Structure 1
């Protein structure tokens, strides 16, 4: 196909995936809105509520702008095309990194709760997290924020059909290398979550009791978070490769929707499960998310065994 036909083909796929992404994000928000009113806006303010609102609404903003950027999002004033396109591109890249950091904060807070509000563990996790944040900042500056690293190219198909694409001037290895510490940190978080679950199951097995459903639920979400973050890191690296247009656009569709749907939905699921459960007592450790103690029949069983 000719160069013009190739540009039209790329633009058509870009716009189709953009519409798909906007539809998915909008449908997810509408689907969860009633639950949000019930389980978020009607509850007292807490750390997890702030984190939920951050990942929900900042995530929607980043997802929608990511979907619009390129073909659907275009400023026709020629003198400002490059500036607006570049500023939008930077917002998407920096916003994605900030969102990733927010998801890690949620995991850290959950682990802090699972380990009985251990200050030592919290300080250790934050001590390792701060260099990860610094690494994200350095990566965004080095890969995206320097004119020598990336620039905007205005593709003009016809006087009425134009779109912007980024032109990269450095290779993918910097992105691959900087993703390794973030992946290692994600591994640390998921290992700590699995460790507390294994210990919990062992203790419950000795008492001939089933594991606490909320511990299992939170650890399960930690594992899914890890798989999601690992997938995003892999996709970030392979997006530098010369992939076919169809493959590239489907990867971008996942990249621009999955994190912004899965992360707030997990928080909501825990709150909804807690609201629909018959709790005996809500501990201060889990006051904003789960019922820590057993249902009445299991609590009576524990009392009978002298626990």
Structure 2
């Protein structure tokens, strides 16, 4: 989906200087976040090796590994995409910038789908493993994921890009028309609806458990400790985070 005339651009137009400043500023945050992600991975890899890689895998293990390593890939791709380094295949039609762009564009959808499955599993447990709740959550998550993927696909139909050298500053350039850009931004809406709904369902079951706990206790006893226990065991802190 890239046009030949957009694969490599050289320009010394001063109007690009504000864009260069913005890209340079954004690259600082990208590098800082990537360093934090990699540092966390290095610190926890020994524990991960013992608890994950040396044990029998389950469906939740696959989800965990997918989220962890696709997230690291996304972070690295986004940082490389922003850094002012020349790409090795800058004169080819489909260069590294296009590959990096599509990793950055599509990785969040895969990560959100995996996280959605984890949330669905937790909610299913919180609602007493109800089959009706499981069917509802699975259908809801499937619709939200498909909607996000369709919006992202439509938003990238008009994509064209490649490497650009703006006043000596190497950048990965991408072009989306106005309608496509709006669709790309709207990709987050289905995921946001799913996550907000999941949080509301978690709060609902926590409130219900608090109410049941208060009814089962005498008025002379303090229920604060038991309420905190229910709050923690119900995974509500996970949904809040």
TM-score for both structures, normalised by structure 1: 0.63
In structure 2, which of residues 191, 196, 204 is the aligned counterpart of residue 195 of structure 1?
A: 204
The residue matched to 1:80 in structure 2 has which SS?
A: coil
Contact 1:197 1:216 in 2 (8 A): no
Take 1:60 and 1:10, find their aligned partners in 2: how far apart are those partners? 24
Shift of 1:111: 0.5
Deviation at 1:41, TM superposition (A): 3.6
The Cα of 1:55 is off from its aligned counterpart by 0.8
Structure 1 equivalent of residue 127 of structure 2? 115
Q: CA deviation at 1:215?
A: 4.8
Seen in structure 2, the aligned counterparts of structure 1 residues 184 and 17 have a Cα distance that, compared at 3 Å, is closer
Aligned counterparts, 1:80-119, within 5 A: 80=92, 82-119=94-131
Cα distance change of structure 1 residues 116 and 89 upon mapping to structure 2, 3 Å threshold: same
The alpha carbon displacement at 1:42 in A equals: 5.0
Taking the TM superposition and a 5 Å limit, the aligned residue runs for 1:184-223 are 184-208=193-217, 210-211=226-227, 213=229, 215-216=231-232, 218-223=235-240
Structure 1 residues without counterparts, runs of 5 or longer: 225-307
Q: CA RMSD in A?
A: 2.7
Q: 1:100 to 1:155 in 2, by over 3 A?
A: same
Task: Name the structure 2 match of 1:75.
Answer: 87
Residue by residue over 1:145-196, the C-alpha shift from the partner in whole angstroms, topping out at 9 and shown as x without a partner, is x2xx22215321466x422122221245434555444333222211111111
Distance in structure 1 (CA, Å) of the matches to 2:149 and 2:173: 23
Name the counterpart of 2:139: 127
CA shift, 1:213, in A, is 3.0
Distance 1:110 1:169, change over 3 A: same
* Displacement of 1:135: 0.9
Count of residues in Structure 1 that have an aligned counterpart in Structure 2 = 220
